[in-house]
Amino acid sequence: MSKNKLLAQYGLKYNPFLPAIPDEDLWTPPDFDSFFFRLENIVLDGGFAMITGEPGLGKSKTLQLLFSKLRQIGDVVVGVMERPQSTLADFYRELGDLFGITLSVSNRYGGFKSLRAKWKAHICSTLFHPVLLIDEAQEMPTPCLSEIRLLGSIHFDSDCLLTTVLCGDNRLPERLRETPLLPLGTRIRSRLLLSPLSREELLDLLNHLLMAAGAPQLMTDELKKTIVEHCAANPRILMIQGAELLDHAMRKDLSVLDEKLFFDTFGALKRAPKKRNKTA
């Protein structure tokens, strides 16, 4: 199926049900504004924040929204760690790349000093602490998580050179309660726990994405209510179902997605097979 054909047929700027949503069109989840306000203060002082939630509730999109808003603050440097499962050596290599320093893995102490010197210089010139965003942080090895705490800590732990936002599923807070990581877990200054969305919140998310993509008329109101009721309060499931419905609608050359399309597409999956009575 041609992507351009799909967009043209429905008057879409992009497919609202796929992950590649522009930063400016991201939906703001509940409690995000309060979390971001607290994080702005952490950026001035340095420290740790955390975003957690069950799979599919929008952690990565929340981190994308956070990245976008932080970059709008002048002079704030934001690095995004792309390989959280790295060994300690690769962890230092990636930090060097993110903050513009060539580090020698054979001289880890030299890398330690270089990063701290870079962060100190940035704070002195801008008054903002550099920010490090880590998605899927539950995958990080314990030595790397501990190293982040030690890298940023100066003056007998009275100051922190880095603002770090850890984002992960519910395994992350459990890990931070383990003995080796308790010193990090007790330093989390702000937390955002993503919960399953209410029916009203899911409808708001759906309407927001359709409007932002340029096709608020794409779905009937009845379909919106139906798809919300069948996504288990999980935004990822909602998006997957929406993408499948859009594909089916294009194959059938439908101009509008409606409730009949939903039951034609998913009806067979919703009806459990009847059990046959066993005879002796």
pLDDT digits (tens, 9 = 90+) for 66-93: 999 999 998 899 999 999 999 999 999 9
Q: Name the burial class of residue 209, with classes exposed (0-12), middle (13-18) and buried (19+) by CB atoms within 10 angstroms of its CB.
A: buried
- Give, as one character, the DSSP assignment of residue 214: T
DSSP lists the bridge partners of residue 219 as 257
Q: Name the burial class of residue 143, with classes exposed (0-12), middle (13-18) and buried (19+) by CB atoms within 10 angstroms of its CB.
A: exposed
Residue 280: per-residue pLDDT: 36
Least confident piece of the model among 80-84, 92-96, 105-109, 181-185: 105-109
Cα distances (angstroms) measured from residue 180 to each of 108, 144, 236, 247, 266: 21, 12, 33, 48, 47
pLDDT over 70 for what percent of the chain? 95
Structure tokens at 216: 């608020």
CATH no. for 31-194: 3.40.50.300
The answer to whether residues 210 and 71 touch, using CB atoms and an 8 Å cutoff, is no
Q: Give 248 or 277, the one with higher predicted confidence.
A: 248
Residue ranges per domain, the chain? 3-21+197-267, 31-194
Is residue 147's pLDDT more than 60?
yes
Residue 109: per-residue pLDDT: 86
List of residues 6+ apart from 228 with CB closer than 8 A: 199, 202, 203, 206, 238
Is residue 249's pLDDT more than 60?
yes
Number of Cβ atoms within 10 Å of the Cβ of 31: 12
DSSP lists the bridge partners of residue 111 as none
Q: Report the alpha-carbon distance of residue 86 to residue 144 in Å, rounded.
A: 8
- The CATH topology of domain 3-21+197-267 is Helicase, Ruva Protein; domain 3 (1.10.8)
List of residues 6+ apart from 116 with CB closer than 8 A: 151, 154, 161
Is residue 176's pLDDT more than 60?
yes
Residue 2: per-residue pLDDT: 67
Residue 272: per-residue pLDDT: 43
Give pTM, 2 decimals: 0.89
Per DSSP, the three-state class of 207 is helix
